[in-house]
Each structure stands twice: as structure tokens, then as C-alpha cells.
Amino acid sequence: MAAIVAILLRQDGRPVQDWPFPITLNSTANTLSTICRGILVSIAAEIICQTKWVWYWSDKTASRRMIDLQHFDSGSRGLVGAVKLAKLVLWHSPATLLSVFIIVFSFGMGPFVQQAIKTVGVNQADPHGRASIPVSTALSSKNGGAFFFTTQDFSDGVSTAKPFGSEDYALDPKVRGVAYAATLGTYKGNAQIVPSCTTGNCSFTGFQSGTPQFTVGKEATHASAGICNICLDVTSLIQSEDDPNGTLHKTSYKLSNGMGLERKDAMKISDGDLSWATAVMSPEVLDVSEMALANVTVLSLTSINDTTKKDDQDRLPSIAVSCSIYTCLRSYSGNVLQGELSETVISTNPVYADPEERKEDPVEFLKPKGPNLTTMRHIRKAAAPDYPSIRAPRQCVYEFDNILANALKIFIHQELFNGECTHGIRILELGGGTDFFPECKGNDWISGFWEAGNATTESIEHRFADFTNTFTNELRMGLMPADNGVSVLVTGEAYQLVSFTSIEKQWLVFPIFMVVLEVFLLGWIIARGWWRRDDEAVWKSNILPLLYYTERFRFRGTTGDDFAAWQRLMTTKEMEDGAEDVKVQFSRRGWRQHDDVSLEQMLPPQRNS
């Protein structure tokens, strides 16, 4: 047992591959536990055999049955016999009872030792591995995200430019294409973030603790500039009005911002301020709407009655949702497990566009003066010489330039979220009937908000969330890279799943207890034998005493001499030496001794009185 404990404790907390032998640790422990159990059972059997003689020696009234000899013998030979013996000695021989306990429960030693050995997977950093997640540190027009231009008039052969301040801003075509597809919900580009993780398991450092984070959602590990949205249900502000002439299909549905629908219409989307909805706006929505790129309102008729406005008259249900789209800094918690990125947004914070270069509000941004540091000043040194500069790692500086801000505002206001849809009819197939669909007059990318006539406030909010998430992911994957077209990466640590041996020590308590109990029991038997050495002998499982000392067994109702008073008991060695030359035959009529040898002649000499 000591070898088992020593080996297991040595391997506890070590990698499985550190085991140096061809036979596994489990096989080694199983082999040793089998040997240990065999030793325990054999010792317990010998103790039972010895307590067999004590069972009769300690009897003062000749009340022990002869059949008890058979019970003790069977108890030392097998499990069934041991269980039967326990009933006999339950209140009379504690040593025998404990020996029976050891024999019966020794079968559990192997399973308990095996149960103690566990294998756990532990992530260990791979010094040669690579781990990174792409992020965006800038919403910038520097690398083709957006541009501004001045329209010139070449009529009459004269080039005339618009005056300064009347420039037009436009998004790059690839950015516009992503926005259209993201709005329609059919974008199939790089909307999914693709991390780099050579081992398949990677973690990233938490902002607060500075330690690798293996659990997603506890602490932010990276941040990225992007687009966010916050929506408000303004259905309660819809005013339904019947046509004065009683024409049902001309029932109107209006909002205070001037948007309106008739029964023949399907949906209308428009961008504008939300001052008309302040009565139902929370402080958070109000703050965001004031700096948002766009405040988009969707007014739609629907066939869903549960969460829409519908009065007692025969009017169609209607819903209205206003969503503010704004630039933000998204903080994420993420890791890579088995090759898949798991990422969740921890928080979002609005990001304001950089102020324009104006004399009354001068701003400067100094280039990096080191490999990883950037110096920033929000006010020119000439205007405020004492205003401090801030030096920070480049990856901690997030930008949103004014050119891109203006381009996004114009694009969203004039094109992306501006239009109306009416009910159109299409033929499903030849002879298959017709179906209604939204006819959006060229702005088909907004048709998805109608949800085939089943729009709800939740579905509209989900559409805006999909748009902002898709657009943000595209920014992270390099749609508008900040520095010379190079994507910004947040690096982490790559881990390998290494199997370690873990020993659950509580499972070793029972095997150790069995060994300690056996040692105690054996010590007690040895001590008793030494203490009673003049009166009793250590015969254990030897059967020769039954032949040598048959006359010593006193049967109830008979009398006999007290041989113990004048003759010592032979040891097993003496009996075996004496029986070496004695030849007997067990016949049907009794014992037959050869050469007229008497058993009395083999007894030891009388002790001196």
C-alpha cells in the first residue's frame, strides 16, 4: 500500500506522458492493489485460523460446539464461509470479526484505488503558438473608406468650382455594397470574425485583471470601433385617422414627424431628429440620439396583433420603431475553444467624430514617435501651451474622422434608410396564384423590415442589430483599415490541451484504513500470543493439533485430566518433525498405525514441577 500511495502522489499533477514505464499508471496501481489485497486476505485468514484455537482455549464451560471448527475453517477459505462465521463470532471474538470484515471488504480496494486516478485536461501555453483577434481602431477615410469632392461646372467651357464648405461626401463603393447587403440581411462576406489560433484553444488578457481569461463574459479582453444601435418603440404615438369621405382604404396612420401611411401602403422608413418622441424616450436614448449618425424611424402596417396598435374600428394593426445608429467602442470578452471563436459584448460607449480643422477649434494629432506609442493633443500647443499631451500605445487610440462621419450621415439619410413601400402583387408560378410583396420603388434593401407583412417591434430591432453587427464585423475584418491598409490585431496566448494525472486522495482513505486495521489486528494477535506463550501455542491453520491432542478436547458431560498442568503444548515445527516419520492409514474401522507407534510416544516430555 505504501508503494501505491508513493507512486500516485508522485504522479499527482504531472503530465500523463511523464510516466516513464511501458505499463500504464492504472495497470501498475491495479497490479499493486491486487497484490496488497492478496496479502491482506492471507493474513486475515491466518488470524481466523489462530483465533479458532483461542475460541476453544477461552471456553471455561465446554460450551463450544464441535461444528465451530468447520465454521472457522470455512471462514478462512472463502467469502461465503467468512460471512457465515461473522454470525457465530459477532459478540464473542472481535479479532475474528475484524478479520472477516477485512476478507469481505477487501474486494473494494482495487476499485477504490482505480477511482482515485483521474485524468484532467489542462491548457498550457504553447511558446510557439500564435493567437490574435482582428479589431478596428479607427473609422477612417484614409484608406479608401470615404472621400469628399468638389463639383465643378464646365458649362460654357468655363470651370467653376463650388465655394469652400459646399463639398460633397461619398462612401467608397465597397462600403456601400456592404451596407446595402447588411440591411437586406443577405450579406455573405466576412461578417464572421476569423481569429488566428494555431492550437485551436486561445485566451486573451483581461483589461482589469491583466490575466488570461478562459471564461467568456467575466471581463473585457479586447475592444473595437464600430457601429451600434439603440431602439425605441414609438407605436403609442401613431395617430389613426379615417377618411372624411368614409373610404376605408384611405385610412391614414401618422406620426408627429410627418411620416404617414394609408391602408394601401406597406411601410415607410425615414431619418430625422427625434424631438417629436421625447415623451417616450429614456435619458439614455435621448443622449445617444443627439450625437447619432442617424435616427431612423420605421412605420409599418402588419398582420400581427399581439404587440401592435389596433383600435376597436376596422383598422389594420400598425407599429413604429425609432432606432439611433451611432459610432461606438465595443468592449468584448472572448476566447477560442476547439477552433471556434466565442465572443460576447461586455459594454458599448459612444465615439464622437474628430472635430474638423477650424481656426476657432484647432486640433492636432501627432504621428507616433516610437514603435508602439502615439502622442495626441486635442488643442494646438500654440493656442494652449499648457494643455497636456497623452502618450498611449497605438492600439489604444481609437479614431473616427470627420470626413467618414459626414459621408455616413449623408449616405444613411439620403439612400440607405430612406424610402417607402406599397403592396405589390406577384405571380408565384403558372396557375399557382398570387402573393403580396413590398414594392419599394428601387429601395429594395429596406423590404426586409416588412417581414412579409408580419413585422413586429422585436423583428425591426433585430434587423437594425444585424445591420450594425455585420457592419462592425466587416470593419474589424479590414473594410476600412486604419494604418496603411494593415489590420489591427489583439494578440493572446495559444494553449495546448495537455492531459494531467490528478489523484483524488479521498478515494485512498479506505484502502489505507484496511491496511492499518490489518496491521493493528496482526499486532494484537502477536502480542496476545507472546503474553500467553506458556498456556497457548501458535498453531494457525495447521491441522496436526487435532491429531496430536484429540484427548485434550473435553466433551460436555465427561471428565478428564488437566494435561496442561503437566505437559506443554507442542509447536507446529515439533509436530511436523514428529509426524514426518509416522505412517498412517485412514480405514473405515479407524486409524491404523504402522510399526506399533503410539501418538503418546511423540508427545513432549513432562514439564518439571
Q: What is the mean pLDDT of residues 288-298?
A: 93
Task: In whole angstroms, give the CA distance from residue 302 to residue 511.
Answer: 73
- For position 453, what pLDDT does the model report? 84
Q: How confident is the model at residue 364 (pLDDT cuts 50, 70, 90)?
A: low
Give the 3-state secondary structure percentages of the chain, helix then strand then coil, rounded to 5. Answer: 35, 25, 35
Whether pLDDT at 323 is above 90: yes
Task: In whole angstroms, give the CA distance from residue 313 to residue 309.
Answer: 12
Kindly give the interhelix angle for 109-116 and 2-11, rounded to the nearest 10 degrees.
20
Cβ atoms 11, 19 nearer than 8 A:
yes
Least confident span in 59-68, 104-113, 179-188, 415-424:
59-68
Whether pLDDT at 166 is above 50: no
Q: What is the mean pLDDT of residues 222-231?
A: 93
- Average model confidence (pLDDT) across the chain: 79
Q: Is 250 helix (H, G, I), strand (E, B) or coil?
A: helix
Q: How confident is the model at residue 609 (pLDDT cuts 50, 70, 90)?
A: very low
Q: Exposed, middle or buried, 228 (CB in 10 Å: 0-12/13-18/19+)? A: buried
Whether pLDDT at 269 is above 90: yes
- For position 16, what pLDDT does the model report? 86
pLDDT in tens, 511-566: 999 899 989 988 888 888 788 776 677 777 777 777 777 666 655 544 555 544 44
Bridge-based pairing state of the strands 138-139 and 399-400: parallel
What 118-122 contacts at long range (C-beta under 8 Å, 24+ apart), as own/partner pairs, is 118/501, 118/502, 118/503, 118/504, 119/16, 119/499, 119/500, 119/501, 119/502, 120/499, 120/500, 120/502, 121/497, 121/498, 121/499, 121/500, 122/497, 122/498, 122/499, 122/500
pLDDT in tens, 380-398: 566 666 767 777 776 677 8
C-alpha cell at 523: 499486532
Task: In whole angstroms, give the CA distance from residue 609 to residue 600.
Answer: 20
Whether pLDDT at 372 is above 80: no
Whether pLDDT at 71 is above 50: yes
- For position 597, what pLDDT does the model report? 52
Whether pLDDT at 579 is above 50: yes
- For position 357, what pLDDT does the model report? 46
- For position 321, what pLDDT does the model report? 96
Whether pLDDT at 359 is above 50: no
Higher pLDDT, 358 or 146: 146
Cβ atoms 232, 323 nearer than 8 A:
yes
Angle (CA) 71 75 76, round 5°: 125
- For position 360, what pLDDT does the model report? 46
Least confident span in 54-58, 80-84, 363-367:
363-367
Provide the percentage of residues in the chain whose pLDDT is more than 90.
24
Paired residues of 196 in beta bridges: 132
- For position 308, what pLDDT does the model report? 54
Domain ranges of the chain: 2-119+502-541, 137-351+398-481, 553-609
Tell me the CA distances in angstroms from 435 to 264, 423, 425, 426, one per residue in order: 15, 10, 6, 5
Whether pLDDT at 278 is above 80: yes
- For position 400, what pLDDT does the model report? 83
pLDDT in tens, 476-516: 888 877 666 677 889 999 998 888 888 888 999 999 998 99
- Element (DSSP H or E) covering residue 8: helix 2-11
